[in-house]
Amino acid sequence: MSPAWARWAEAVQKRPWAAIALSLVILLGLALPALHMRLGSADAGLDPPGTTTRESYDLIAEGFGAGTSGSFLLAAELPRPGDAAALRRIADAVARDPGVAEVTPPQLSKDGAIATIVMYPKSGPREEATTRLLERLRGEVLPPVARETGAQVFVGGQVASQEDFTRVIADKLPLFVGAVVLLSAL
């Protein structure tokens, strides 16, 4: 063993708790950026400039707004088939949110029991504002309208699905990291 490693080993043996504390501080410092990490799927907006998919994405965002590529699909189970008043209240409540750019007219199923509404956010699919909009819709905007109308309203679409999947992964990440560290220690 080299003299430097021998001195290091002696120092750790003299003050093991200090070595553990210092190691933890260093590891936590290195892991700190992970607390602000945004998980998600890549879209064409991350493609290299000049590629056809990126040019298309940029043209659509420029012409129609950043949220055009990240629409939400609202599915409403109506209390009565063809309940136009309930649909109007749902669409109006969503349209009033400051993060919403556009709400399309509701489309009824053949039997009139279910309707879909497409909603476009002002922000792009990967932006934090879109995530906050999804949380507001699910937590603040739609529950009161659903109680008042008797309709059940669900928010879906590609962006909502990616956010839900990301949340599941993020919730399981500490368990996964803990298992890897434990197995590595063994």
Domain with residue 108: its CATH number is 3.30.70.100
Structural domain count, the chain: 1
State yes or no: pLDDT of 82 exceeds 80.
yes
**Cβ burial, residue 14 (10 Å; 0-12/13-18/19+):** exposed
Q: What is the per-residue pLDDT across 26-75, written as a single tens digit (0 to 9) for each?
A: 888 888 887 777 666 667 777 888 899 888 888 887 888 778 888 999 99
In a domain, 22, yes or no: no
**Residue 184: predicted pLDDT:** 79
Q: Provide the pairing of β-strand 114-121 with 100-103.
A: antiparallel
In a domain, 183, yes or no: no
Helix axes 16-31, 3-14, angle to 10 degrees: 100
**Mean pLDDT to the nearest integer, 154-162:** 91
**Separation CA 156–CA 134 (nearest Å):** 9
**Separation CA 146–CA 151 (nearest Å):** 5
In a domain, 112, yes or no: yes
In a domain, 62, yes or no: no
> Containing domain of residue 132, as a range?
70-167
Can you tell me whether residue 108 is helix, strand or coil?
strand
In a domain, 79, yes or no: yes
**Residue 40: predicted pLDDT:** 63
Structure tokens at 174: 């500490």
In a domain, 141, yes or no: yes
State yes or no: pLDDT of 11 exceeds 70.
yes
**Residue 107: predicted pLDDT:** 95
In a domain, 75, yes or no: yes
Between 109 and 170, where is the model more confident? 109
What is the pTM (predicted TM-score) of this model?
0.73
In a domain, 155, yes or no: yes
Hey, which residues does 123 pair with through a beta bridge?
none
